[in-house]
């Protein structure tokens, strides 16, 4: 594949691309004001969602085509290229007619090869850059497939956007970053630039700077971060949007580390593995928390039925079962026995609290 980097898109972009703007265009004033403020900071491309793919109907589904004009006007006023999401052929035609400089394919669309192919067919013979978000599910082939469909339509100005992957588990992220996937994408398509979208990974403001820094540390080629003049009042993704000023602070606070020239791959690998360990630890704690919640329910049940807390036969059986399972993962009997003794101790503590001091239960659950 011969994919052109952002510097060769003819839009005056450098090797690192910062994209920002509201999740959704809401009013002409909101788009213009957000974009004007953003232009004071190192933002290279302005964004706004025009048609919004919402999980459930009756949420705000975007202002529609009229928003394209508001966005383009903001681009003209600030001298910056603008980008919008397209999810079907009609969107493509309307975006082209409005002079939108860059289109992106959203995560839900990337999951559907029929939809991507229709968009690719509509783009045949058109010279417009396209950014392809990862599919909602962690499927690298599907992501590459979408990029190939756009490429096969003759488009060479392509970038990828990493916005994290959906999971049913409750995690600290809205969408798990699974950094190993975009890194593998880079391995397989070395020409493609990958831009990280911390907003949709985090789903909140608090983690944005950390995820953006991680993307820098892993040598991503840019960031897409949502911003709004009044984030709390945003009609979509309110929790994750920041003011343009806050975006400026986040960008100013990022450190660009020089990759170790002797071992850039090694460092990246190490970063990814560490992030995976962090995620697993987070899940371990969460799982323990859930286990204790059930222990409290057991405590409640025992209390109501006047059953004693400690039942040694159950505990012995449990230990035998857990150690046998642990052996399959080459975990040592001694260490596992110790860990389970500690887990059991903590369970007993939770049960005791519920049995002796029901009012304490409220505190624990709160
Ligand atoms: C968005 O960028 O506003 C959006 C809808 O993103 P995603 O497709 O990543 O969910
Ligand atoms: Mn959004």
Ligand 1 atom nearest 49 alpha carbon: 3
How many percent of the chain have pLDDT more than 70?
Answer: 95
pLDDT tier for residue 363 given thresholds of 50, 70 and 90: low
Please state, in angstroms and rounded to a whole number, the distance separating the CA atoms of residues 100 and 68.
7
DSSP state, 4? P
pLDDT of residue 361: 54
Q: Which positions ≥6 away from 204 have C-beta within 8 Å?
A: 174, 239, 240
178 Rama class: left (phi>0) / alpha (psi -120 to 50) / beta: left
Q: Which ligand is closest in space to the CA of residue 160?
A: 1
Asked whether the predicted pLDDT for residue 309 surpasses 70, the reply is: yes
pLDDT, one tens digit per residue, over 221-234 is: 999 999 999 999 99
For the chain, first and last CA: distance in Å? 54
Residue minimizing CA distance to atom 1 of ligand 1: 23
pLDDT of residue 170: 79
**Alpha-carbon distance values, 358 to 92, 333, 352 (Å):** 60, 36, 9
pLDDT of residue 341: 94
Domain boundaries, the chain: 6-257, 266-365
Region 303-319: mean pLDDT is 86
pLDDT tier for residue 268 given thresholds of 50, 70 and 90: confident
Asked whether the predicted pLDDT for residue 23 surpasses 70, the reply is: yes
Region 341-363: mean pLDDT is 80
Please state, in angstroms and rounded to a whole number, the distance separating the CA atoms of residues 31 and 17.
20
CA of 236 to the centre of ligand 2 (A): 7
**Residues enclosing ligand 1, CB less than 6 A?**
23, 49, 53, 106-108, 133, 163, 200
Mutate to test the pocket of ligand 1, among 53, 134, 175 (most ligand atoms within 8 A of CB): 53
Please state, in angstroms and rounded to a whole number, the distance separating the CA atoms of residues 173 and 239.
12
pLDDT of residue 106: 98
Q: Which of 258, 178, 190 is nearest to 219 (CA)?
A: 258
pLDDT of residue 352: 87
DSSP secondary structure string for all residues of 64-121: -THHHHHHHHHHHHHT--EEEE--SHHHHHHHHHTT-SEEEE-HHHHT-HHHHHHHHH
pLDDT, one tens digit per residue, over 48-103 is: 999 998 888 888 999 999 999 999 999 999 999 999 999 999 999 999 999 999 99
Q: Taking the CA of residue 212 as centre, how many other CA atoms within 13 Å lie in the half-sphere pointing to its CB?
A: 27
Residue minimizing CA distance to atom 6 of ligand 1: 106
Ligand 1 atom nearest 163 alpha carbon: 9
Residue minimizing CA distance to atom 3 of ligand 1: 23
CATH number of 266-365: 1.20.59.10
Which residues lie near ion ligand 2 (Cβ < 5 Å)? 23, 237
By CB atoms closer than 10 A (0-12, 13-18, 19+), residue 141 is exposed
Region 320-342: mean pLDDT is 96
Tell me the pairing of strands 102-105 and 158-162: unpaired
Please state, in angstroms and rounded to a whole number, the distance separating the CA atoms of residues 232 and 160.
29
pLDDT of residue 272: 85
Q: What are phi and psi of 176, to 5 degrees?
A: -60, 135
Region 238-250: mean pLDDT is 98
Lowest-pLDDT range of 127-136, 254-263, 285-294, 314-323 = 254-263
Q: What are phi and psi of 282, to 5 degrees?
A: -60, -45
CA of 51 to the centre of ligand 1 (A): 10
**Alpha-carbon distance values, 342 to 90, 130, 289, 319, 349 (Å):** 60, 53, 14, 12, 11
**Structural contact between residues 157 and 130, judged by C-beta atoms closer than 8 angstroms:** yes
Q: Which of 78, 46, 51, 23 is nearest to 230 (CA)?
A: 23
Please state, in angstroms and rounded to a whole number, the distance separating the CA atoms of residues 87 and 53.
9
6-257: CATH topology: TIM Barrel (3.20.20)
Tell me the pairing of strands 17-21 and 222-226: parallel
CA of 73 to the centre of ligand 1 (A): 22
CA of 226 to the centre of ligand 2 (A): 7
E-strand stretches of the chain: 17-21, 45-47, 82-85, 102-105, 130-133, 158-162, 193-196, 222-226
Asked whether the predicted pLDDT for residue 364 surpasses 80, the reply is: no
CA of 31 to the centre of ligand 1 (A): 17
**Structural contact between residues 126 and 156, judged by C-beta atoms closer than 8 angstroms:** no
Q: Which positions ≥6 away from 263 have C-beta within 8 Å?
A: none
Q: What is the pTM of this model?
A: 0.84
Which structure tokens are listed for 348? 């007993």
Asked whether the predicted pLDDT for residue 264 surpasses 80, the reply is: no
**Most trustworthy range by pLDDT among 35-39, 273-277, 297-301:** 35-39
Asked whether the predicted pLDDT for residue 257 surpasses 80, the reply is: no
CA of 15 to the centre of ligand 2 (A): 24
**Alpha-carbon distance values, 208 to 10, 120, 349 (Å):** 30, 32, 37
pLDDT of residue 38: 98
pLDDT of residue 362: 61
CA of 200 to the centre of ligand 1 (A): 7
Residue minimizing CA distance to atom 2 of ligand 1: 23
């Amino acid at each position: 594949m011969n994919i052109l980097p952002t510097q060769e898109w003819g839009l005056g972009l450098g090797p690192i691309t910062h994209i920002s703007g509201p999740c959704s265009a809401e009013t002409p004033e909101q788009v213009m004001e957000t974009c004007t403020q953003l232009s004071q900071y190192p933002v290279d491309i302005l964004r706004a969602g025009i048609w919004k793919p919402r999980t459930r109907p009756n949420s705000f589904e975007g202002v529609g085509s009229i928003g394209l004009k508001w966005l383009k006007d903001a681009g003209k006023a600030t001298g910056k290229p603008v980008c919008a999401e397209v999810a079907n052929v009609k969107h493509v035609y309307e975006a082209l007619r409005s002079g939108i400089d860059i289109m992106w394919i959203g995560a839900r669309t990337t999951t559907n090869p029929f939809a991507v192919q229709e968009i690719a067919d509509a783009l045949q013979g058109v010279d417009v850059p396209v950014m392809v978000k990862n599919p909602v599910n962690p499927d690298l082939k599907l992501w590459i497939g979408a990029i190939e469909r756009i490429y096969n339509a003759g488009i060479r100005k392509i970038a990828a956007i990493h916005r994290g992957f959906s999971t049913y588990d409750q995690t600290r992220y809205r969408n798990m970053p699974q950094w190993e996937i975009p890194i593998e994408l880079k391995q397989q398509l070395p020409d493609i630039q990958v831009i990280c979208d911390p907003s949709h990974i985090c789903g909140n403001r608090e983690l944005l700077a950390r995820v953006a820094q991680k993307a820098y540390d892993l040598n991503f080629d840019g960031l897409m971060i949502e911003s709004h003049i009044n984030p709390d009042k945003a009609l979509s993704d309110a929790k994750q949007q920041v003011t343009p000023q806050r975006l400026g602070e986040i960008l100013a606070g990022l450190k660009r580390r020089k990759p170790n020239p002797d071992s850039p791959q090694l460092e990246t690998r190490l970063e990814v593995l560490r992030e995976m360990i962090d995620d697993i630890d987070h899940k371990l704690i969460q799982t323990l928390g859930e286990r204790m919640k059930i222990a409290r329910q057991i405590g409640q049940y025992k209390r109501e039925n006047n059953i004693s807390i400690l039942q040694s036969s159950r505990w012995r059986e449990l230990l035998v079962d857990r150690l046998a399972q642990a052996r399959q993962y080459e975990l040592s009997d001694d260490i596992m026995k110790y860990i389970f003794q500690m887990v059991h101790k903590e369970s007993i503590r939770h049960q005791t609290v519920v049995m002796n001091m029901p009012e304490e239960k409220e505190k624990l659950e709160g």
